[in-house]
């Protein structure tokens, strides 16, 4: 961020990569979005409530009260004709935006001081009719807490490096 705070953290272990978007706050590490290379992603409102949640099956968009506004299934998972996904555009804050155009076209954009960085965090999953989808894995509270601590530690290392 222009403030010097870390915006995006990219982590990777073996075949799994994650992109974490943080809020522009000095004292706390608020995670505004988490995108994983296996197709799981969640965006959060400023107060920490879930905004958008996606998996390899589809996704849902919630309002600030937690009511479902939209729900979708990715077209490659259903043999039936489907209605194309209407693009979703959200602003996590004045510098970071998310565009969801298709399963393989999920863009996280950062814009500050006239420069832009764009990441495509979409995943394309082809499912044959004979295969079963794996159960949707949810990060437990402990895993989220560990991830938040890891982000905080990486942030502190970044600050120590100057």
Tell me the domain boundaries of the chain: 8-161
For residue 53, pLDDT over 90 is answered with yes
DSSP 89-144: EEESSSSEEEEEEETTEEEEEEEETTEEEEEE--------TTS-PPPPP---HHHH
Q: Give the pLDDT of residue 77.
A: 62
Comparison of pLDDT for 44 and 85, the residue scoring more: 44
Q: Give the pLDDT of residue 29.
A: 75
Q: What is the pLDDT of residues 70-93, one digit of tens each?
A: 999 888 766 666 667 889 999 999
Which percentage of the chain shows pLDDT scores above 70?
Answer: 85
Express the helix, strand and coil content of the chain in percent, nearest 5 each: 15, 40, 45
Question: What burial letters (b/e) apply to 60-99, b meaning 16+ CB within 10 Å?
Answer: ebbeeeeeeeeebebbeeeeeeeeebeebeeebeebbbbe
Looking at the whole model, is its pTM more than 0.75?
no
Q: Give the pLDDT of residue 78.
A: 61
Number of alpha helices (DSSP H) and beta strands (DSSP E) in the chain: 1, 11
Mean pLDDT of the residues in the chain: 83
Q: What is the DSSP letter of 151?
A: H
Q: Where does the pLDDT of residue 154 fall: very low under 50, low under 70, confident under 90, or very high at 90 and above?
A: confident
Distances (CA, A) of 121 to 21, 54, 100, 128: 12, 12, 10, 23
Q: Give the pLDDT of residue 126.
A: 61
Phi then psi for 145, rounded to 5 degrees?
-65, -45
Lowest mean pLDDT among 45-49, 76-80, 83-87, 152-156: 76-80
């Amino acid at each position: 961020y222009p403030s010097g705070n870390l915006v995006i953290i990219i982590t990777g272990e073996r075949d799994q990569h994650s992109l974490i978007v943080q809020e522009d706050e000095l004292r706390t590490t608020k995670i505004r979005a988490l995108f994983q290379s296996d197709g799981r992603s969640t965006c959060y409102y400023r107060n920490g409530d879930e905004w958008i949640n996606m998996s390899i099956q589809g996704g849902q968009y919630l309002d600030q009260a937690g009511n479902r506004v939209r729900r979708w299934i990715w077209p490659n998972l259903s043999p039936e004709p489907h209605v194309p996904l209407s693009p979703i555009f959200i602003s996590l804050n004045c510098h970071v935006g998310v565009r969801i155009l298709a399963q393989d076209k999920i863009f996280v954009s950062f814009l500050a001081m006239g420069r832009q960085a764009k990441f495509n965090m979409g995943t394309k999953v082809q499912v044959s009719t004979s295969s079963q989808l794996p159960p949707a894995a949810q990060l437990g509270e402990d895993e989220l807490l560990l991830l938040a601590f890891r982000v905080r530690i990486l942030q502190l290392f970044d600050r120590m490096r100057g």
